[in-house]
Structure 1
């Protein structure tokens, strides 16, 4: 039986853009997952590739996939867009059981709160430990969730100096 998504992390930043411009930027999964496409210490020096369906990850029901090899293991996760409310919110969740190392199934998203100048961006993840290696999730899951939401938020802020 699949674990409920009881583990959570959220990162908030201020962004120097109006809500519409920020949403359009973040609506593209290539931008949100850019940190996964570059080798990094958190990815053990590896990177993952992104593929999307015809909807490009920009419509409800659209599916996209991250896949690659980390530490000699094939990783693969597909996500489906579940909510898209421009210019304020978007969420997506894993489809099936992902093949990941330190997190299992997850639901992610972002919300945008317009301010007098710019807006506040919140990026969140709700996740379970991986079914196949829950001990890795217990050790590294929180650090990975923090890194991932932080990278997405900081990359978005950097796009609007």
Structure 2
């Protein structure tokens, strides 16, 4: 039986653009995962590569995959878009059991709330500890979830100065 996704983190930012422009920007998985494509301390100096199906991650059922090596270990996760409501919301979920270090299966997404000026963007993750090494999740999962949602949210904010 799958472990429930009982761990959560959410980051909210104000973005100075309209909901449709923000959604169009975030609808591209390459933009959302840009923080994974660059070496960083949180990734132990490594990076991951993104591939998408013909839907490009922009339709319900579309699948994309991140893979790479961190600390010499092969990592791999595939996600499927399960909700997409332009310009308000998009949610994707892991397919199968991902091969990651500090988080396991997850459900992730964003929601956009128009304001009088600009929008409020919320980026969230609901996750389980990794099946192979749950102790790594207990130690580092929350920090990683916070880093990931913050990077997505603040990268989007920076795209609309």
In which range does the TM-score fall when normalised by the shorter chain? over 0.9
Alignment of 1:42-53 (within 5 A): 42-53=42-53
Partner residue, 1:97: 97
- The unaligned stretches of length 5 or more in structure 2 are none
**2:88 is equivalent to residue 88 of structure 1:** yes
RMSD between aligned alpha carbons? Answer: 0.3
* SS, match of residue 3 in structure 1: coil
Q: Number of residues paired by the alignment?
A: 161
Indicate the residue corresponding to 2:71 in structure 1. 71
Q: How many angstroms apart in 2 are the aligned matches of 1:14 and 1:36?
A: 23
TM-fit CA distance, 1:139: 0.2
Instruction: Give the whole-Å Cα distance in 2 for the aligned partners of 1:71 and 1:99.
Output: 13
Structure 1 portions without partners, runs of 5+: none
Q: Which residue of 2 aligns with 1:127?
A: 127
Runs (4+) off by over 4 Å:
none
Report the alpha carbon displacement of residue 2 of structure 1 after superposing the two structures with TM: 1.6
1:117 aligns with 2:117: yes
Where does residue 34 of structure 1 map in the other structure? Answer: 34
Query: 1:21-70 CA deviation, whole Å, 9 max, x = no partner?
Result: 00000000000000000000000000000000000000000000000000
Provide the secondary structure at the position in 1 that maps to 2:41: coil
Distance in 2 (alpha carbons) for counterparts of 1:17 and 1:71 = 39
Mapped partners of 1:31, 1:118: distance in 2:
20
TM-score of the superposed pair, with normalisation by structure 2: 1.00
- Asked if 1:108 corresponds to 2:108, the answer is yes
Specify the SS of the correspondent of 2:22.
Answer: helix
Query: Matched residues in 2 for 1:43 and 1:117: separation?
Result: 35
* Secondary structure class of the residue paired with 1:41: coil
Report how far residue 109 of structure 1 moved.
Answer: 0.2
Aligned to 1:7: 7
Counterpart of 1:16 in structure 2 is 16
Separation in structure 2 between the aligned mates of residue 99 and residue 148 of structure 1, nearest angstrom: 17
